[in-house]
Amino acid sequence: MNTDFLPLKELPGVVSRVVSETEAMDIHTHLYDPAFGDLLLWGLDDLLVYHYLVAEAFRYFDFPHDEFFSLSKSQQAERIWDALFVRNSPISEACRGVLTTLNALGLDPRKQDLASLRNWFAGQDPRDYVGRCMELAKVKSICMTNSPFDDLERPVWEKGFERDPRFTAALSIDPLLREWESCWKQLSDWGYIDSADLNEATFSGIRRFLSDWTEKMDARFLMVSLPPTFRYPDESVCVRIIREAILPHCREAGLPFALMPGVKRGVNPLLRMAGDGLAKCDMESFERLFAEFPQNKFLLTALSSENQHELCVAARKFNNLHVFGCWWFTNIPSIIEEMSRMRLELIGMSVTLQHSDARVMDQVIYKWGHSRRVIAKVLTEKYEDLNRAGWGVTEEEIRRDAGQLMGGAYEAFCAK
Ligand code: RAT
Ligand code: ZN
């Protein structure tokens, strides 16, 4: 290990090598432990029918939405390929992602047609393939998004399975907080509560439900995505359940509550899963939550780029808040660069710069590859500034920092 201070001119090379070698913890994805079978998506057609690409393809399609959704998965993939890769240059981040991924796997879509690429994927064994993707992405652990309300996923948990140690769980509770009118019935069918009335018996039933599922999943945190209209304090059902059930449960279990505000579900329902939009959230509401519950730990990523500055400032005030990732619409190089720079400048190393949000296994390759390039660029600039201030850095220190920014700081926060 070289412990000498690095000269200015060597910083770019060393930083980009270290950042590309550092194994990341991917703390928010929609991937599954291979034991979930078909729920773990991977391969060419799933890469192409990714909802980010569906939304983009409709910019060019001139046929009705329903017609597209009535096609088979491989037919949809072909339409998307034609619109986004053949008729137009695939410059968008999601298009480029497909190409980075294929390229890293040694495939050439300029030379091979979709049928022959599909053949290559058909020859892969899913379990080995997961390892290959994680190795190429340099990801050491993948946190899933797990919902007890999901009818496909729940039976797998209930039956039990041997866990793949690379996959950790996060207990996702959106329906509990956002669809109480229908969700309470389910909790009642499962024997946790007797009525929809929000009284002490109901809150205690919800806490029992959360504690059973936290244990079953060995969940690392609880999580919810919230609309931009979320306000705290408030007497809404959502806020009352958070205050009386979620937060007490998280305190008791010593787990963070991950908040993902800013998503407007179904802005264009015709686009189905691709139809969600965003708006700026009310950060002051979250500040009040952090202030009122200093014994709770919160993870937060905001969907609107307009919230990022105030979020960093909030993190300076509340050490029960850990900021993470460039979520969904902010996961594009221009915004990752701005957000990473802002975070380093305002909260230093106490942040998790990125998560992948991958829904298709192969996507970890490009999501991490693309982000690492941006992170290395920003970090290099920061070490150059330190160097000019007379503070040389060693390769070992850069390695320590990269580890912290890609999972170490999150682990330390959770362990606090
Ligand atoms: O990034 C995505 O794939 C989105 O569809 C959402 O899943 C979002 O990340 C979420 O967590 O709700
Ligand atoms: Zn997500």
Question: How many Å apart are CA 140 and CA 26, to the nearest integer?
Answer: 8
Question: How many Å apart are CA 190 and CA 178, to the nearest integer?
Answer: 19
Pairing state between β 263-264 and 277-278: antiparallel
Which residues are CB-neighbours of 182 under 8 A, at least 6 positions away?
A: 175
Which residues are CB-neighbours of 183 under 8 A, at least 6 positions away?
A: 149, 175, 176
Q: For residue 144, how far is its CA from the centre of ligand 2 (angstroms)?
A: 9
Question: How many Å apart are CA 268 and CA 38, to the nearest integer?
Answer: 28
Q: For residue 29, how far is its CA from the centre of ligand 2 (angstroms)?
A: 6
Take atom 12 of ligand 1 and give the residue whose Cα is closest.
Answer: 225
User: Which ligand has the nearest atom to the CA of 363?
Assistant: 1
Q: Around 236, how many Cα atoms within 13 Å sit in the side-chain half-sphere? A: 14
Question: How many Å apart are CA 70 and CA 340, to the nearest integer?
Answer: 41
User: What would the two tokens of residue 313 be?
Assistant: 């400032």
Question: How many Å apart are CA 201 and CA 188, to the nearest integer?
Answer: 12
Q: What does the DSSP 8-state code read for residue 86?
A: I
Estimate the crossing angle of helix 200-217 against helix 180-189, to 10 degrees: 70
pLDDT score recorded for residue 408: 99
pLDDT score recorded for residue 14: 98
pLDDT score recorded for residue 2: 61
Question: How many Å apart are CA 155 and CA 331, to the nearest integer?
Answer: 32
User: What would the two tokens of residue 2 be?
Assistant: 């070289």
- In tens digits, the chain (416 residues) has pLDDT values of 566 999 999 999 999 999 999 999 999 999 999 999 999 999 999 999 999 999 999 999 999 999 999 999 999 999 999 999 999 999 999 999 999 999 999 999 999 999 999 999 999 999 899 999 999 999 999 999 999 999 999 999 999 999 999 999 999 999 999 999 999 999 999 999 999 999 999 999 999 999 999 999 999 999 999 999 999 999 999 999 999 999 999 999 999 999 999 999 999 999 999 999 999 999 999 999 999 999 999 999 999 999 999 999 999 999 999 999 999 999 999 999 999 999 999 999 999 999 999 999 999 999 999 999 999 999 999 999 999 999 999 999 999 999 999 999 999 999 99
Which residues are CB-neighbours of 236 under 8 A, at least 6 positions away?
A: none
Q: For residue 184, how far is its CA from the centre of ligand 1 (angstroms)?
A: 24
Take atom 11 of ligand 1 and give the residue whose Cα is closest.
Answer: 225
- Among 287, 150, 172, 275, smallest CA distance to 230 is for 287
Ligand 1 nearest atom to the CA of residue 357, by list position: 1
Question: How many Å apart are CA 353 and CA 411, to the nearest integer?
Answer: 13
Sheet holding 167-172, edge to edge: 24-26, 139-143, 167-172, 219-226, 257-261, 298-300, 321-323
Q: Which residues line ligand 1 (CB under 6 A)?
A: 30, 225, 260, 328, 357, 359
Residue 317: enclosing H or E segment and its boundaries?
helix 308-317
Q: For residue 382, how far is its CA from the centre of ligand 1 (angstroms)?
A: 31
pLDDT score recorded for residue 13: 98
Q: What is the CA radius of gyration of the chain?
A: 22
Take atom 8 of ligand 1 and give the residue whose Cα is closest.
Answer: 328
pLDDT digits (tens, 9 = 90+) for 70-107: 999 999 999 999 999 999 999 999 999 999 999 999 99
- Among 380, 392, 401, 386, smallest CA distance to 5 is for 392
DSSP H helices in 138-265: 154-159, 174-178, 180-189, 200-217, 237-241, 247-253
